[in-house]
Amino acid sequence: MIRTLITGLGNMGMSHALALHAHPMAEVVGLVNRTGKAPSGELQSYPCFDDFTQALDQTKPDLVVIATYTDTHADFAVAAMQAGAHVFVEKPLAMSAAEAERVVASAKQTGRKLVVGYILRHHPSWQRLIAEARALGGPYVFRLNLNQQSQGAEWETHKALMQTTSPIVDCGVHYVDVMCQITDAKPLRVHAMGLRLSDEIAPDMYNYGQFQVVFSDGSVGWYEAGWGPMISETAYFVKDIISPNGAVSIVANESWNSADIDRHTKVGQLRLHPVAGPDQLIQLEDEPGHQALCNAEQDFVLRAITQDIDLSRHMDDAVQSLKICLAADASIRSGQAVSLEGALL
């Protein structure tokens, strides 16, 4: 049994905790949240702490799951690995590229496993999308977005997230990771724009952003993300990949609601459009929901530990996708294009 400590019990943390609670290879030895009180329901019998350092020292876990706000990720991950634990950390991996590299360096130095929460990597329909796109051959045009019209509790969650992380960084790392898995080319430069559309967020934060990234094989990518009650539901879900040989797209259902977290990963069907030949609709049945995907993520983490899976590429990819999104954030704040070497253009 792998002794597991979970810190952060928001939407993702609760889902990861429930996944580990039900997994036969895991033993949950503690929970950490701000109140120090365990949530009601299936998890209420577990010890709960309000201090991560104290919980780490007292429970001595084999695995630490980190689902707190981004500004704590790097310090918590390094502390856990130095204490001898493997780490699963939600995306984004860190607040800066340097901090992300520090976490990866700690994993390599300690020999601990480090898995970052790229949930789409565990989704069979997204795996199929990537395979179909790669089969078309590049260079590619990537058109990806995830705008979320959030109100009430969802808007409060987004405002809390924006205390540390913008939408294009928080959500963008998923979709940039998809771009990078398809093209395998080196990202060169990023240009971005953003706008603060609400007085309810900090003056130096924006709740709408979009960016363009250029790759060394000539591929170009566009990503857009917005949060808030003012965001339009129209075209909130665009997932197109275009190549000289055709295109593959996710065909969104018009009834989908942008605030529904289960719909953020759903595919339903793909439209494959070869230049030579008719379009093909690929039906994707029995897609996993949000909890099932978290179950799959945690199962992968446990197998990575017990089977000693090499995570070198996984860690490098996590740092690269974060660097691209952070470059986009820097571009918005500077008003200039940013090279992936860190210089303004």
Q: Which of 100, 117, 134 is the last residue of a domain?
A: 117
In sequence order, the 6+-apart residues with CB closer than 8 A to the CB of 89 are: 65, 66, 73, 76, 77, 103, 114, 115, 116, 117
62 and 145 part of one domain: no
pTM of the complete model: 0.90
Mean of all residue pLDDT scores within the chain: 93
Structural domain count of the chain: 2
pLDDT band, very low/low/confident/very high, at 237 (cuts 50, 70, 90): confident
The answer to whether position 151 is within a domain reads: yes
Residue 309 lies in a domain: no
pLDDT bracket for residue 100 (50, 70, 90): very high
Shared domain for 106 and 204, answered yes or no, is: no
Q: Look at residue 345 and tell me if it is in a domain.
A: no
* Per-residue pLDDT tens over the stretch 33-56: 999 888 989 999 999 999 999 999
pLDDT band for position 264 (50/70/90)?
very low
End residue of a domain, out of 117, 148, 173: 117
Strand ranges, E, within the chain: 2-7, 26-32, 48-49, 63-66, 86-90, 114-117, 141-149, 187-195, 208-215, 220-228, 239-243, 246-250, 269-274, 280-283, 338-339
In a domain, 314, yes or no: no
- Same domain for 235 and 258, yes or no, is yes
77 and 206, same structural domain? no
pLDDT computed for residue 272 by the predictor:
97
Picking from 117, 138, 155, the residue at the C-terminal end of a domain is 117
Q: Which domain holds residue 111?
A: 2-117
Q: Is 156 helix (H, G, I), strand (E, B) or coil?
A: helix
- Inform me whether the pLDDT recorded for 255 exceeds 70: no
| Residue 92 in domain | yes
Q: What is the CATH number of the domain that holds 152?
A: 3.30.360.10
User: Are residue 112 and residue 96 in the same domain, yes or no?
Assistant: yes
